[in-house]
A = this chain, B = another copy of it.
Amino acid sequence: MKSSIDCIPCFVRQAADAVRMTVPADEDRMRLMRAVLEWMGDIDLDSSPPASVQMIHRRLRGLLPAGDPYREAKDRQNDLAARLIPSIRKRIAESFDSLTMAVRYAITGNILDLGAKNNLGIGDIYAELQSAPIQPIFGDMAAFQKAVSKARQVLYLADNAGEIFFDRLLIEQLAGVKVTLAVRGMPVINDATREDALAAGIDNIAEIIDNGSDAPGTILSDCNAEFRKHFDEADLIIAKGQGNFETLSDAPRDIFFLFRTKCPVISLHSGFCIGTYVATNHFAGGDESRKRGLS
């Protein structure tokens, strides 16, 4: 999907987050932000939002101290998620329809997104968890359940650290299916990398690959050969989060997108209100959304 001028404030905020977390002095911070603002002028609204974020953070990495600015934040999110998981697993096991309940919680985990919001409080997370079991899922859960029942080889595209623990609970429901979990190839914002997949112990239940890319989404032309082979051969692709939706909603194959609509741009493109839990493959090829005049 294309970007909008309404994406620019988020791009600026994400860059400011990375700068604030790694550079202490105000003058240095502002000097870096001046560079970021200059790069923003190069943004092409015809590209997807993750393509712009990739460009900005690639350049930013060259100016910031070495290391991953978000590593500490990701560790905190993983620790929080790890503490929550046992009770949620129990809740899923006890529910009438465990697959649907696991989808719900996987989408709930999608609020752990520092790309969309940087001041998420623990209160917000607990409120979200409390409402999770009764959230209606919009899109086509019946089609998702059918696709899962037929699948032999699933490619699961992870989104964020922390959230990946919730993804694990959904992968646990895909018993008897070969699941490959794909993470980003390099750190970008708080997107999950191999380190986070291992922290969630996903290596015990699925194969982990990385896509070789440093985009906070899945830009196929930027992904490595191993990832693209899996992408072509999987008989079910599950793509978590807005970043994967933004980059794959026009991809030339059927993909199930699981995400929570977190911004007006995604809401307009997907046709779902902000805050909605979405499980849909409605956007294969992007024609449908164009037909509906939403993109």
Copies of this polypeptide in the complex: 2
The answer to whether B30 touches A45, judged by C-beta atoms less than 8 angstroms apart, is yes
Residues of B within 8 A of A221 (CB): none
Contact of B9 with A9 in the complex, beta carbons under 8 Å? yes
- Check if B9 sits within 8 Å of A5, measured CB to CB: no
Give the complex CA separation of A15 and B29 in angstroms. Answer: 22
Alpha-carbon separation in the docked complex, A264 to B34 (Å): 21
Residues of B within 8 A of A87 (CB): none
- Scan residues 37-62 of chain A and give those whose CB is less than 8 A from a CB of chain B: 37-38, 40-41, 43, 45
- A10 at interface by CB-CB < 8 Å: yes
Bound complex: CA A157 to CA B234 (Å): 62
Q: Is the CB of A274 closer than 8 A to any CB of chain B?
A: yes
Chain A 14-43 interface residues, beta-carbon cutoff 8 Å to B = 16, 19-20, 26, 29-30, 33-34, 37-38, 40-41, 43
A26 engages B45 (CB within 8 Å): yes
Choose from B10, B30, B37, B121 the contact partner of A37 (Cβ within 8 Å). Answer: B37
Given A119-B274, A264-B119, does the pair A19, B41 have CB atoms closer than 8 Å? no
Choice from B6, B20, B45, B274 contacting A6 with Cβ under 8 Å: B20
The reply to whether A16 and B26 contact each other, CB–CB distance below 8 Å, is no
Counting CB contacts under 8 A, is A12 at the interface?
A: yes
**Could you pull out 13 A-B pairs where Cβ atoms are within 8 angstroms?**
A4-B26, A5-B16, A5-B19, A5-B29, A5-B33, A6-B13, A8-B16, A8-B37, A9-B10, A9-B13, A34-B41, A37-B37, A119-B274
